[in-house]
Amino acid sequence: MRGTAGGGSIAAKAASATVSNTLVTASSHISASLTADPGSNAIIQWVERNPGAGFTLHLSDKVNSATSFTYLIVEP
């Protein structure tokens, strides 16, 4: 099993964020957590894998201010 971890930010007034990572595959397990207050009721709703390119976090609502997050990608 191999994996990688990292972080990013969701721009203010956005409801998604894309992370570039060529290690993402169709079977990657991707876990993400918000590490700052989004200033709204936004939560991570789902993660869209883009094999060979990365992934997109989709939120339930727009964040009010830039919101940091961390992620872990694991290959089963």
More confident residue, 64 or 76: 64
Given this model, what pLDDT does residue 18 score?
98
Please name the amino acid found at residue 6: G
Nearest-angstrom CA–CA distance, 52 and 40: 32
Architecture of domain 2-75: Sandwich (2.60)
Q: Which residues pair with 33 in a beta bridge?
A: 70
Structure tokens of 5?
């971890």
pLDDT 10s digits, 1-32: 567 999 999 999 999 999 999 999 999 999 99
Residue 36 tokens, joined: 């700052």
Go through the chain and tell me how many residues it has: 76
